[in-house]
């Protein structure tokens, strides 16, 4: 009887009975099904996820509970509609956040983590200044056309989004500091690079990734993707926001459908 009981425990632990082959209690998905979902990913990303599928699905479970607009893909190949934008906006200047222009707004979804980020930096005698946030379609159109007029379309496309393709239209992306490359060398810029992720903010356009993101390096442009989103980006998607957002864009519904 003792031998039988030991064998039963071993078989149960190894997943030979019932739904124990499932990778996470919140998902009806086994490893083969997950591997099929990852067929469009690079080998390195696939290996990262398949090496820790339970952890990956744990984070996916959390992201599925978040407001979906936090993970909308907005880039040169995936445009937002003209009227798409945050449901509610607020002014960071009303929350004690240093600013360059008082009237600038952000989505209300990100104001608390943004305030926490700024407060944490202030405790180290660093001032993180809010420079830009939400831009609607029409404003982005005006801005892009101005850059094209000043720099030509080819150069403008390297640093300015065409209307409908800007993360700023979501209200969850912010420009911080002086909006130039030298900001990366300042104490504030270095602090952001090291600590923005602690508050759920991800650098959208990293150095030497223009072929992937479509834009030149912007050390000042951060998008709020939640702390769990940061963990997923770092642990599975080579710490590149674009890779994670593209995956989520194409496979969020697959994960949602597999959810219990």
**Angle 71-260-255 (CA atoms, 0-180°, nearest 5)?**
35
Are 60 and 255 in contact by the 8 Å Cβ rule? The answer is yes
pLDDT of 29 higher than 50: yes
Smallest Cα–Cα separation from 61: which of 37, 34, 25? 25
Residues with Cβ within 8 Å of 243's Cβ and at least 6 positions away in sequence, in order, are 42, 45, 212, 233, 237
Task: Indicate if the alpha-carbon torsion angle 107, 111, 112, 117 is positive or negative.
Answer: positive
Give me the pLDDT at residue 21, please.
Answer: 85
DSSP state of 127: -
Give me the pLDDT at residue 19, please.
Answer: 43
What's the whole-number mean pLDDT along residues 63-92? 98
The pairing of strands 201-203 and 221-224 is antiparallel
Give me the pLDDT at residue 112, please.
Answer: 99
DSSP 77-115: TBPPPTT---SSEE-GGGGT--BSSTT--EEGGGHHHHH
Domain ranges of the chain: 23-66+242-260, 69-225
Question: pLDDT of 152-199, one tens digit each?
Answer: 999 999 999 999 999 999 999 999 999 999 999 999 999 999 999 999
DSSP state of 208: T
pLDDT confidence tier of residue 255, bands split at 50, 70 and 90: very high
Helix (H, G, I), strand (E, B) or coil at 139: helix
Residues above pLDDT 70, as percent of the chain: 92
Give me the pLDDT at residue 11, please.
Answer: 43
DSSP state of 221: E
What's the whole-number mean pLDDT along residues 28-45? 97
- The span from the CA of 126 to the CA of 160, in Å, is 28
Helix (H, G, I), strand (E, B) or coil at 242: helix
Are 222 and 174 in contact by the 8 Å Cβ rule? The answer is yes
φ, ψ dihedrals at 163, nearest 5°: -55, 135
CATH 3.30.70.1400 fits 69-225, yes or no: no
pLDDT confidence tier of residue 20, bands split at 50, 70 and 90: low
What's the whole-number mean pLDDT along residues 36-60? 98
pLDDT of 36 higher than 60: yes
Question: pLDDT of 96-124, one tens digit each?
Answer: 999 998 899 999 999 999 999 999 999 99
Average pLDDT of every residue of the chain = 93
Token readout for 28 is 């009806």
Give me the pLDDT at residue 127, please.
Answer: 98
Question: pLDDT of 224-233, one tens digit each?
Answer: 999 999 999 9
pTM: 0.91
Per the model's pLDDT, the better-predicted residue between 18 and 225 turns out to be 225
Smallest Cα–Cα separation from 73: which of 255, 252, 257, 259? 252
């Amino acid at each position: 009887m003792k031998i039988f009981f030991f064998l039963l425990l071993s078989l149960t632990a190894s997943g030979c009975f019932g739904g124990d082959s499932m990778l996470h209690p919140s998902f009806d998905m086994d490893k083969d099904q997950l591997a099929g979902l990852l067929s469009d990913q690079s080998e390195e990303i696939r290996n990262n996820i398949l090496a820790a599928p339970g952890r990956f699905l744990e984070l996916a479970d959390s992201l599925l509970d978040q407001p979906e607009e936090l993970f909308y893909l907005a880039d040169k190949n995936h445009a937002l509609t003209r009227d798409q934008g945050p449901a509610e906006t607020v002014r960071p200047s009303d929350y004690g956040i240093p600013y360059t222009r008082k009237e600038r707004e952000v989505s209300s979804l990100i104001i608390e983590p943004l305030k926490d980020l700024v407060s944490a930096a202030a405790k180290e005698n660093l001032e993180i200044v809010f420079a830009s946030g939400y831009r609607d379609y029409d404003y982005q159109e005006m801005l892009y056309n101005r850059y094209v007029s000043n720099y030509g379309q080819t150069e403008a496309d390297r640093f300015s989004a065409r209307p409908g393709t800007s993360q700023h239209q979501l209200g969850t992306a912010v420009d911080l500091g002086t909006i130039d490359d030298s900001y990366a060398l300042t104490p504030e810029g270095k602090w952001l690079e090291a600590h923005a992720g602690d508050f759920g903010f991800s650098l959208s356009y990293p150095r030497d990734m223009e072929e992937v993101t479509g834009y030149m390096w912007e050390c000042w442009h951060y998008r709020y993707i939640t702390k769990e989103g940061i963990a997923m980006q770092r642990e599975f998607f080579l710490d590149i926001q674009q890779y994670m957002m593209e995956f989520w864009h194409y496979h969020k519904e697959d994960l949602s459908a597999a959810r219990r």
